[in-house]
Structure 1
Amino acid sequence: MYVGIDVGTSMVKAAAFDGTGRERAVASRPVGLSLRDGVVEQDMDEVYGAVVAVLDEVTAQVAEPVELAGLTGQGDGVWLVDGQGRPVRQAASWMDGRAHELVDRWLADGTVEAVFRRTGGAMFPGSPGPLLAWLDAHEPEALDAAAVALYCKDMVFRRLTGAAATTDVSDASMPFLDPLTRGYDDKVVELLGLTHRRGLLAPVSDPVATAPALGEGLPAGTRVVNGPYDLPACALGAGATAPGDGLLIVGTCLAALVATTELDLAGEPAGLYIGTDRPGHWLRAMPAMVGTAALDWVLTTTGVRHDEVDGLLAATPPGAHGVRVLPYFAPSGERAPFVEPRLRAELTGVSLESTPADLIRATCEGIGFAARHCLAAAGLTGTLAVCGGGTRSPAWMRLLADVLGRPLRVVEGEVGARGAVIAAAGRCGVPLDTAAWTRPTAVVEPDADRAAYYARAYEEHLERLERARQRARA
């Protein structure tokens, strides 16, 4: 029996798998987000408590002993802890926007581009570089009290095992890691004015760290493996590992990932190259800020339930009777496939004749266009898998296949937790049939006529987006 732990932004999950990759038990707990004036934070004790609770629930449901546990979770943000692994302040989320003025300045003076040319990562307000620089300027006492600036899963690993605080190459990829040496680039630290805080960067464990559990949530002595974070873990869980193959995660964050052996630091500074367990292999990642969160906002605003979405998507035609949505709802703007901290969502073409179905379809189409933009920028040439909460809507998956103009390998279940187990097994030498573990649950083919329509509509979307970006910079 193997357990995967996925510490998400709004939900913490644990899943137990047998040796064939079949899910035997799943447990989840919601965790809160504090949002105010662009500041987005989380309570680390609440997050860790949710981890212990879901592990207690899952392990109680299976009779067999747990041989191995793999850990993954949300990336970016800043999780400051003291020498005992306890929080010194609330965690700053990857969704946080307080450092947007700093990123604006770094965009204007060339710092963002200079960092990208060295590391392949384009900073955004919720990434560790800007957040640490903001805290250094506005809350230096918090940094003074901290022993290390961790990422989410690293905090959990530290408390589950008591092991020394470390991170892995995937989390460290943004923005300080040299993708070739797989160590920190001190020039980047200097460019961000953080040389005097260099000691806060967690040591990079390569390969990923493993340690025995202390006994909370998992039986004492259970092997726990830390990493990679949720985007590369999902790529492993969906089988998107061959160069050119891609994964689209339709979750809170809309993340496009393409496996590659080519490192191109000369293109537009956007997205990032995520280090993997194999040197010379990366994931070209374009993680847009908002995915299902945009649809959730529209559903809440219109009073529509999630279980009504499929019916409403069928109630209005492609194009949503002229309603258009640019789905950039995040308070920190957008980070992929471009960085625009001040970009905001736009809803156009609405009249008294517009219906909730039009608004829902237009939002799903807008998210699809954003996904197409990200996948093109990431260099997709092979197969495309899709996972995340959005896969629970068959109608949305059909719409997405049409908007993208390609078949979708739908991978359902706890894909991040599954990938965490696959990574843990690889780290510990446990043989798994990864083809069986990552087999898709369905393949959704696009409709040729609708795909042709959406190809034209996508070009119009890019034109509207460019005008919106110009207004954001004005």
Structure 2
Amino acid sequence: MQKYLLGIDNGGTMSKAALYDLEGKEVAVASCKTEMIMPAPGFTERNMNEMWQANVSAIKEVINKSGINSENIVGIATTGHGNGMYLVDKEGKPAYNGIISTDTRANDYVEKWYSDGTFEKVLPKTMQSIWAGQPVALLSWFKDNKPQILENTKWVFMCKDYIRYCLTGEAHAEITDISGTNLMNVKDVKYDNNLLQEFDIEDVLELLPPIKYSSEIFGYVTEEVAKLTGLKEGTPVAGGLFDIDSCAIATGIADEEKLCIVAGTWSINEYISKEPIVSKDLFMTSLYCMEGYWLTTEASPTSASNLEWFVSQFLGEEKNQGLEDNKSVYDYSNEYVESVSADEFNIIFLPFLFGTNVDVTAKSCFLGLNGWHTKAHILRAIYEGVVFCHKAHLDKLMAYRKAPKAIRIAGGAARSKVWVQIFADILQIPIEVTTSTELGTLGAAICAGIATNKFESYKDAANSMVEVAYTCYPNPDNKEVYDKKYSLYRETIDALSLLWDKFK
């Protein structure tokens, strides 16, 4: 009898469930959207009950679409956006709205920790930068602004850990997720009261769930959840993974040679190693899902979401035309980009609409526009600017390792062949695109397969479930033009750096 693995992925607004066979074939996928709540400037929240119901709907739909008997689902695991915060009260119900990792209400705490030396003091333990959307900053904000919420809180969960709690009734933190929060001593792999004291939140230690590893069994589907979803009661639920780990393993990152790019809402650039890299110049080193390995990550919210903004604001005509032609608006976008070449214009786009990897106050802009430029030129500038930002992150990583023979890519940009070619040409490295379109759910399914002994190791699972669809090779004829453009991109950032504060 064919056996299946269920992966569940919760991003900032979308909840997905996907079923896979043991060879990595996607049998069915379903998704359900939840609304983002923005009650004040910088606040990004969601209703936790609504998110759970979205998961219930997605699970029910994926079982129905697949036509399989849920008794043949041998394991489940969850993934989700890292950081943010999901508080559960003493009765097991939401204590507040879920907070998404793009929340910036706690910016003042981050600025304080960088200016008063706290960051450099804790870095040897945490191995990562600090930003406002992390629970370490959010908990500090709640302590000072809404202490009554914390007084009523039993558990502090990450996004996917809350969903697993709903599935099983068991409260745990998972190692990859919690190691990216600044709440954990990553060096010694444990909670550390002295670390929490540096942030003046030592009282939250009792709210942090016990830690387990990704591929351990964390619990089993409850009778109530089985009735709601169609899952079989008692189906084992593994710990799951931080979404950056899920995407990495789902692209086959199971050894130190490979490097992965995720070009989605965030620009994520990462590799694994057996020795941790600790540097104030890097974004994050966290624990990987493979025991004994560390995940070194350079990241910022500067990737494909910039294109989504432009498409939603300026390609309405193409979107309407697509309804008639049965085409995606992104098909038109790719056609525009293919219609112009890299060497026929010099527009520089800074992809900082939703965040930045330079000065925290940096703003997005187009520089070099002329009256003869068209949508095609502007769109190609967006594609290029996003890749230039990825390259800036990769340049930092290359200071700590050798250049890879090829880079695996995931995220929305991986669906565009012209964008993948731009990545290859700017980086001058072959880019490998995998067959799976849902990397988060696939990574979670791989984790479930290991937890239920369907695979001996992550490497074994990746060999079975991950397949490269094609490799895009760089065009050496474009190296010179892109080297010049990248230099101009960096010079533009430097030249504008004195102006950012004036745009607050």
Name the TM-score class by shorter chain.
Answer: over 0.9
Residues paired across the two proteins, number = 468
Partner of 2:320: none
Partner of 2:251: 238
Provide, for residues 432-459 of structure 1, a one-character-per-residue CA deviation record: whole Å limited to 9, x for no partner: 6531311111111111111332123222
Q: CA deviation at 1:386?
A: 0.4
Partner of 1:354: 373
Root-mean-square deviation (CA), in Å? Answer: 2.0
Match of 2:295 among 269, 283, 302: 283
| CA–CA separation in structure 2 for the residues paired with 1:171 and 1:449 | 45
Instruction: Map residues 401-412 of structure 1 onto 2, 5 A cutoff.
Output: 401-411=424-434, 412=436
Cα gap change, 1:465 to 1:425, in 2 (>3 Å): same
1:396 aligns with 2:419: yes
Structure 2 contact 449–461 (Cα < 8 Å) conserved: no
Partner of 2:221: 213
| CA–CA separation in structure 2 for the residues paired with 1:137 and 1:104 | 16
Match of 1:438 among 466, 473, 497: 466
Bigger drift between 459-468 and 411-420 goes to: 459-468
Match of 1:344 among 363, 367, 390: 363
| CA–CA separation in structure 1 for the residues paired with 2:500 and 2:189 | 36
Partner of 1:316: 340
| CA–CA separation in structure 2 for the residues paired with 1:248 and 1:462 | 20
Unaligned runs of 5+ in 1: none
Cα gap change, 1:186 to 1:377, in 2 (>3 Å): farther
Partner of 2:129: 122
Cα gap change, 1:378 to 1:47, in 2 (>3 Å): farther
User: What secondary structure does 1:148 align onto?
Assistant: strand
User: What secondary structure does 2:373 align onto?
Assistant: coil
Cα gap change, 1:449 to 1:190, in 2 (>3 Å): same
Q: CA deviation at 1:421?
A: 1.5
Q: Which amino acid aligns with 2:8?
A: I
Kindly name which structure, 1 or 2, has the bigger radius of gyration based on alpha carbons. Answer: 2
User: What secondary structure does 1:463 align onto?
Assistant: helix
Q: Which amino acid aligns with 1:451?
A: K
| CA–CA separation in structure 2 for the residues paired with 1:320 and 1:142 | 57
Structure 1 contact 4–421 (Cα < 8 Å) conserved: yes
TM-score by length of 1: 0.93
Q: CA deviation at 1:291?
A: 1.8
| CA–CA separation in structure 2 for the residues paired with 1:314 and 1:262 | 42
Partner of 1:112: 119
Partner of 2:282: 270
Structure 1 contact 169–204 (Cα < 8 Å) conserved: no
| CA–CA separation in structure 1 for the residues paired with 2:252 and 2:141 | 38
Structure 1 contact 72–229 (Cα < 8 Å) conserved: yes
Partner of 1:420: 444
Q: Which amino acid aligns with 2:306?
A: A
Structure 1 contact 21–437 (Cα < 8 Å) conserved: yes
Match of 2:67 among 39, 62, 84: 62
Instruction: Map residues 109-188 of structure 1 onto 2, 5 A cutoff.
Output: 109-188=116-195
Unaligned runs of 5+ in 2: 317-328
| CA–CA separation in structure 1 for the residues paired with 2:377 and 2:118 | 42
Structure 1 contact 320–359 (Cα < 8 Å) conserved: no
| CA–CA separation in structure 2 for the residues paired with 1:62 and 1:17 | 13
TM-score by length of 2: 0.88
Q: CA deviation at 1:311?
A: 0.8
User: What secondary structure does 1:322 align onto?
Assistant: coil
Q: CA deviation at 1:49?
A: 1.1
Q: CA deviation at 1:85?
A: 3.2
Cα gap change, 1:453 to 1:420, in 2 (>3 Å): same
Structure 2 contact 245–289 (Cα < 8 Å) conserved: no
Q: CA deviation at 1:102?
A: 2.0
Provide, for residues 348-389 of structure 1, a one-character-per-residue CA deviation record: whole Å limited to 9, x for no partner: 222333222222111111110111111222336323100112
Provide, for residues 65-108 of structure 1, a one-character-per-residue CA deviation record: whole Å limited to 9, x for no partner: 21111211111101111134321111121111111222222222
Structure 1 contact 4–418 (Cα < 8 Å) conserved: yes
| CA–CA separation in structure 2 for the residues paired with 1:256 and 1:105 | 28
Q: CA deviation at 1:319?
A: 5.8
